[in-house]
Structure 1
């Protein structure tokens, strides 16, 4: 059996939606897992074959996996010292998420969801600063739905490219996942840098931090 055949069997397996629930959930605490690539390619394969039932199953799987993974990291954020140290090293993005999370958890979770490792960062911070589950879940559902819609749209665009060659879909999907995550991350960092520059420019000279001069 060739690699392409194996990929085709996996992408057409009736167990794929359940496997994606687990993969997307574990992607929360372990961002290197290729959940985006697999989900995007699965959508592309479903659209290419005209299997709208599979498209619906994948959408439900993605949402359920996101919610379960987010709740797991939210819980770990309350107690895991290793995770707290990782958050502390995340720099200005973590500072913005922390400052926004208590007042506007939905905004913080949605904004961070599309950044590299942003899902782990934002959900861990939500647990760390004590956002209650009843306020956390709406933000998780909103960010997960937007992310899932983006994955579905990308899969729809990839459908004609995938055709009968799932390896092409995996390669293109992986490339799109990297490029888009990097673009969102860069845009967020540029925006934070501009805000910091404006804040410094608006601070009276006598009140500036001597170390920043």
Structure 2
């Protein structure tokens, strides 16, 4: 049954899957969808639809394009509306702790901004925080591109491998799904430790008004 489901997903035309990925990931960071639905899971599911390596590459390309659009939109919103986003109704529901966590990324190297893509919720806030703090788009975008490319490539590849295994061995669906979930949790935890260690090892945090180059 589940093997048939994955076969049906893989049979879907990329012209159908692409718009869905583009729409969701664009809204992920620009409209805050990533605060509600983790993009990691979406990328893995999308990856299961790839029946060939070329289709997986096409999905990665679509995902990266959407990440660029989403990060650009989020940066513009932050620059335009500033603290109103943070202190508005939605911002209060997100919670001050999560806003502070996203803001702290700007006290460390640009790599922390790239790694933020592996932190659920936080990565959806990062573009808006960058814009609100006045980080120039030309400085923010290269790190967003690096992080988005790595993030999309990682989880689409995991999804493609998982989908291939389950199509051959449908009885392994639950173990494969459990492994995929464990990978997401492990990667997120590892990145969080790296970012925290970077903060602890920084002798003098940079001012939020002067984000990393």
Question: What TM-score comes out, normalization by structure 1 length?
Answer: 0.69
Aligned residue number for residue 12 of structure 1:
11
Count of matched residue positions in the alignment of Structure 1 and Structure 2: 191
Q: Deviations over 1:81-123 (max 9, x none)?
A: 23354474327633521323xxx4x313212110121211322
Aligned residue number for residue 63 of structure 2:
62
Q: 1:54-133, aligned counterparts within 5 Å?
A: 54-78=55-79, 79=81, 81-83=84-86, 85=91, 86=94, 88-90=96-98, 93-100=101-108, 104=109, 106-133=110-137
In structure 2, distance between residues paired with 1:189 and 1:53: 32
2:2–2:173 contact (8 Å) kept in structure 1:
no
Structure 2 gaps of 5+ residues are 204-213
Q: In structure 2, do the counterparts of structure 1 residues 17 and 130 end up closer, same or farther at CA, with 3 Å as the change threshold?
A: same
Superposition misfits of 4+ residues, deviation over 4 angstroms? 2-11, 84-87, 168-175, 188-200
Q: In structure 2, do the counterparts of structure 1 residues 170 and 38 end up closer, same or farther at CA, with 3 Å as the change threshold?
A: farther
Structure 1 gaps of 5+ residues are 201-213
1:45–1:162 contact (8 Å) kept in structure 2:
no
Aligned residue number for residue 151 of structure 1:
155
In structure 2, distance between residues paired with 1:157 and 1:195: 32
Question: What TM-score comes out, normalization by structure 2 length?
Answer: 0.69
Using the TM superposition, give the Cα deviation of residue 8 of structure 1 relative to its aligned residue in structure 2, in angstroms: 4.9
In structure 2, distance between residues paired with 1:6 and 1:156: 14
